[in-house]
Amino acid sequence: MYKETVYSAFNLLMHYPPPAGAGQHPSPQPPLHSKASQSPHGVPQLSPLYEHFSSPHPTPAPADISQKQVHRPLQTPDLSGFYSLTSGSMGQLPHTVSWFTHPSLMLGSSVPGHPAAIPHPAIVPPSGKQELQPYDRSLKTQAESKAEKEAKKPTIKKPLNAFMLYMKEMRAKVIAECTLKESAAINQILGRRWHALSREEQAKYYELARKERQLHMQLYPGWSARDNYGKKKRRSREKHQESTTGGKRNAFGTYPEKAAAPAPFLPMTVL
DNA sequence: GCCCCTTTGAAGAGT
DNA sequence: ACTCTTCAAAGGGGC
C-alpha cells in the first residue's frame, strides 16, 4: 500500500517536473515582484530556484489600510468590490476560488453589526469542551476567569496565501488522479505543480491572496498573526532544521534535495 | 486525540 | 536589514 502510494506520487512528479533550471521557466515573463514584496525568509529556507516567484503583489502598507477604514466604517465594510469578483474578472479565471464558499471569506456574525447567525469560517471556536456554569464562575478568581476567557476566545485564522489557495483548489484533482490521500505526499506534488505554473497562472493566486488579506484586515482590523502564535504545539527547532536541511526522510522515503537546488533565476528588472 | 509530515508564502520575533 | 520561526490547509499515520 505504501509502495503504491510512493509509486503513484513518483509518477505524478515525473509528469510535473519543476523548472529545469535558471531561466528555464515554462513561460518566461517579466518579473512581477518588487524587493519589498520578497519573502523575508532566509536563503536556506527559500528555494533559490524559485525566488523570482515571490509575490508580485506586495501587501499594502498598513497605514493605507487604516486610512481606508477611516472612510469605511467597520460596521459595514464595503466588500462589494470583492464579491463582484465572483462574477467579474476573477470569476472568469480557470482556477476560480469561490468568494462565497471560500471558508475564510464567507461573511457571518463575526462582522460587526452583521445580523447573520453563521459565524465567519475564519473564526474557529476554541477546543474547550464545556461552558462553565454561572455558579462555577463565581468561584474563580478574576485572573483565572480572565485567562479562561482569553483561552475561549474564538481563533481567527490566518488568511490563506497564494499557494494555500492553490492547494485548496487543486488538492481534490490530484487525489483523483493518483488516488493518494496522504497529505504530505499530495503537498509535495502540489508544490511541484505550483512551480511548474506560468507566472500568469501564479499571479492569479497571488492576486486572490492579496484580496483575501485585504478582506481579512477589514473584517478583523485588530488581528495579528501573533494572536495565533503558540496555539499550535510545534516540533522542536532541531527537528525543523533537520527537515529543511535534507537530514530527514520525506513522504516518499527519500531525502529532500533543497541543498542541491540550482542557481537562482535573477529577474531582469525589479518593479 | 494530539502531533508530525509536507508544501509555499506572509508576517512576527529575534539578532 | 537580515535570518529564523510560526501558522495557515489537508488527512494519513504514529503514539
- Burial class, A134, CB count within 10 angstroms (exposed 0-12 / middle 13-18 / buried 19+): exposed
What pLDDT score was predicted for residue A166?
A: 97
The reply to whether the CB atom of residue A220 sits less than 7 A from any atom in nucleic acid chain B is no
Instruction: Calculate what percentage of chain A has a pLDDT beyond 90.
Output: 24
The reply to whether the CB atom of residue A44 sits less than 7 A from any atom in nucleic acid chain C is yes
Interatomic CA–C1' length for residue A1 and nucleotide B1, angstroms = 25
Using the C1' atom of nucleotide C13, identify the protein residue whose alpha carbon is closest.
A182
Q: Which residue has the cell 474557529?
A: A124
Shortest CA distance to A82 belongs to which of A1, A159, A163? A159
Range A206-222 average pLDDT: 94
pLDDT in tens, A220-237: 999 999 888 888 765 544
Lowest-pLDDT range, A167-171, A199-203, A249-253?
A249-253
Handedness of CA A140, A144, A149, A152 (dihedral sign): negative
Lowest-pLDDT range, A84-98, A108-122, A201-215?
A84-98
Q: Which of A28-42, A119-133, A187-201 has the highest mean pLDDT?
A: A187-201
d(CA A241, CA A248): 9
**What is A1-16+55-121+157-236's CATH number?**
1.10.30.10
pTM value surpassing 0.85: no
The reply to whether the CB atom of residue A41 sits less than 7 A from any atom in nucleic acid chain C is yes
Using the C1' atom of nucleotide B9, identify the protein residue whose alpha carbon is closest.
A161
Q: Report residue A240's pLDDT band, with 50, 70 and 90 as the boundaries.
A: very low
pLDDT in tens, A44-70: 333 333 333 333 333 333 333 333 333
CATH 1.10.30.10 domain locations along chain A? 1-16+55-121+157-236
Q: Using an 8 Å Cβ cutoff, are A196 and A16 in contact?
A: yes
The reply to whether the CB atom of residue A35 sits less than 7 A from any atom in nucleic acid chain B is no
